[in-house]
């Protein structure tokens, strides 16, 4: 295991232990208990289509079972791609859930899959990055980087971008995986468990970092184009000073939207990183855009918020899911969708924030955001169970 990987894992362990200690100390005072779910009147019909799974393998047992943070879903065309801790990568038919292929990488996977064209890329906690053929699952190349990968890579027309826990953003060759360039930021002594997924925006690759900054680099050579501060470390203790930007940024035309932990939700100019507006917020998830005027986020304390994209003002705020460990939100034509620590998937009205529907996908935590394709939504829980649903308005 690489030195940086060991160091990062120790830091996360310290952070987790410290947070648990804080929770224990406050147990008899006023603990933040998860909100109890109240009955709702469904205005959206959500029908279960199919379920499938990817094997967690021996890497998924014990404490590591809770570290599925970077193993989400990807949809490309009519196929759904998923991966498991034990090394399995699989493709499924979006309509029927039929398994199309399975490849066992025999690696402790931690990030991915990312899909573009004929390429599927996953990363492992031991630093391996693997590319597979999207049609067959055949392994195309494997490379080793000096850092653990626990978020999905991103694929452009010229490069595979991989963010590792050592604070590095690397560009890898599409053809054989060799490293083309490296960029990055300093890593604080303590950080949250998680890293931001890079986002491709034309010739730029934009990514958040543990020091509260967002970095934009040229995809051709990794040269820095700009950096912007979203969250500033404040407080007397290192835990209070956590300022990670762990969620992926969202890009719409000339605008970039980002949110940090103990920081701000911010709109930046894509050309130079200039801040157009910034408001206090705290989230370790990413943002989702809807329509031409809205941005949605789930906060660290479990609120779902709709903001005006032009000025960041709050349009509505749903507080009934407080402290339920929400995923980042996804947006469909009819709903804002998030999931929680008990396997519930919540559908909110886009205009009002009122509950439109609720389903439960087993009882396991869902850490990764739902993925929407037209009127279908697909989720994966931390045990590797995949479920697809179809949404339609009630008449």
For 115-163, write each residue's pLDDT tens digit: 999 999 999 999 999 999 999 999 999 999 999 999 999 999 999 999 9
Q: What is the pLDDT of residues 38-66, one digit of tens each?
A: 999 999 999 999 999 998 665 444 444 44
Burial of 216 (0-12, 13-18, 19+ CB in 10 A): buried
Determine how many CB atoms are found less than 10 A away from the CB of residue 122. 31
pLDDT surpassing 50 at residue 9: no
Q: Looking at residue 201, what is its pLDDT?
A: 97
Q: Looking at residue 239, what is its pLDDT?
A: 80
Strands (E), 213-309: 213-218, 224-229, 250-252, 255-259, 263-269, 275-281, 287-290, 294-298, 304-308
CA 354/CA 351 separation, integer angstroms: 8
Q: Looking at residue 139, what is its pLDDT?
A: 98
Question: Which residues have C-beta within 8 Å of that of residue 249, sequence separation ≥ 6?
Answer: 196, 199, 206, 207, 208, 214, 256, 257, 258, 286, 287
Q: What is the pLDDT of residues 248-265, one digit of tens each?
A: 999 999 999 999 998 899
Q: Give the DSSP letter of residue 92.
A: E
Q: Looking at residue 67, what is its pLDDT?
A: 53
User: pTM for this one?
Assistant: 0.89
Whole-number average pLDDT of the chain? 89
Query: Considering only 16-20, 44-48, 104-108, which range has the smallest mean pLDDT?
Result: 16-20
Mean pLDDT to the nearest integer, 72-101? 96
Question: Which residues have C-beta within 8 Å of that of residue 184, sequence separation ≥ 6?
Answer: 166, 167, 168, 169, 209, 215
Does 113 sit behind a cis peptide bond, omega within 30 degrees of 0 on the bond before it? Answer: yes
Mean pLDDT to the nearest integer, 386-393? 96
Mean pLDDT to the nearest integer, 376-386? 95
Q: Looking at residue 362, what is its pLDDT?
A: 83
Strand order in the sheet with 44-53: 44-53, 385-393, 376-380, 371-373
DSSP secondary structure letters along 23-81? HHHTTTT---PPPPPPP----EEEEEEEEEE----GGGSGGGGG--TTB-EEEETTEEE
Q: Looking at residue 343, what is its pLDDT?
A: 97
pLDDT surpassing 70 at residue 230: yes
- Right CATH for 3-26+45-393 from 2.130.10.10, 1.10.287.3510, 1.10.760.10, 3.40.1190.20: 2.130.10.10
Q: Looking at residue 58, what is its pLDDT?
A: 52
> Rounded to the nearest 5 degrees, what angle is found at the Cα of 132, between the Cα atoms of 126 and 134?
140
Q: Give the DSSP letter of residue 352.
A: T
Q: Which residue, among 71, 75, 47, 72, has the nearest Cα to 59 in the 3D structure?
A: 71
Residue pair 199/192 in contact (Cβ under 8 Å)? The answer is no
Mean pLDDT to the nearest integer, 9-13? 41
Which tokens is 82 given? 């998923």
Determine how many CB atoms are found less than 10 A away from the CB of residue 66. 13
291 vs 218, residue with greater confidence:
218
Q: Looking at residue 27, what is its pLDDT?
A: 40
Report in angstroms the alpha-carbon separations of 329 from 43, 166, 379: 19, 27, 12
Q: Which residue, among 158, 157, 125, 166, has the nearest Cα to 144 in the 3D structure?
A: 125
Q: What is the pLDDT of residues 150-180, one digit of tens each?
A: 999 999 999 999 999 999 999 999 999 999 9
């Amino acid at each position: 295991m690489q030195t940086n990987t060991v160091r990062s894992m120790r830091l996360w362990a310290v952070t987790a232990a410290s947070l648990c200690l804080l929770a224990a100390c406050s147990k008899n005072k006023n603990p933040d208990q998860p909100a109890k779910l109240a009955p709702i009147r469904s205005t959206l019909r959500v029908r279960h289509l199919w379920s499938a799974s990817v094997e967690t393998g021996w890497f998924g047992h014990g404490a590591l079972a809770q570290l599925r943070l970077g193993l989400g879903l990807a949809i490309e065309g009519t196929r759904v791609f998923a991966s498991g801790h034990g090394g399995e990568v699989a493709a499924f038919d979006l309509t029927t859930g039929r398994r199309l292929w399975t490849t066992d990488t025999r690696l402790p996977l931690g990030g991915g899959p990312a899909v573009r064209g004929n390429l599927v890329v996953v990363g492992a906690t031991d630093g391996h990055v693997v590319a597979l053929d999207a049609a067959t699952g055949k392994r195309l190349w494997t490379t080793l980087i000096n850092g653990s990968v626990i978020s999905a890579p991103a694929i452009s027309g010229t490069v595979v971008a991989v963010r590792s826990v050592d604070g590095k953003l690397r560009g890898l060759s599409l053809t054989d995986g060799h490293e083309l360039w490296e960029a990055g930021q300093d890593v604080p002594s303590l950080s949250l468990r998680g890293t931001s997924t890079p986002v491709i925006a034309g010739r730029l690759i934009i990514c958040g970092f543990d020091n509260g900054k967002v970095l934009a680099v040229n995809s051709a050579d990794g040269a820095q184009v700009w950096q912007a501060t979203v969250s500033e470390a404040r407080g007397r203790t290192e835990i209070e000073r956590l300022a990670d930007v762990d969620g992926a940024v969202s890009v719409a035309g000339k605008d970039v939207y980002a949110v940090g932990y103990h920081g701000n939700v911010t709109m930046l100019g894509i050309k130079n990183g200039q801040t157009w507006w910034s408001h206090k917020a705290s989230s370790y998830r990413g943002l989702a855009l809807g329509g031409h005027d809205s941005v949605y986020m789930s906060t660290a304390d479990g609120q779902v918020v709709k903001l005006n994209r032009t000025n960041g003002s709050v349009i509505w705020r749903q507080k009934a899911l407080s402290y339920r460990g929400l995923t980042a939100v996804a947006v469909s034509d009819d709903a804002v969708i998030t999931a929680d620590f008990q396997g519930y998937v919540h559908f909110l009205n886009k205009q009002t924030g009122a509950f439109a529907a609720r389903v439960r996908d087993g009882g396991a935590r869902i850490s990764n955001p739902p993925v929407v394709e037209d009127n279908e939504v697909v989720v994966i829980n931390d045990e590797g169970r995949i479920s697809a649903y179809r949404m339609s308005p009630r008449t």
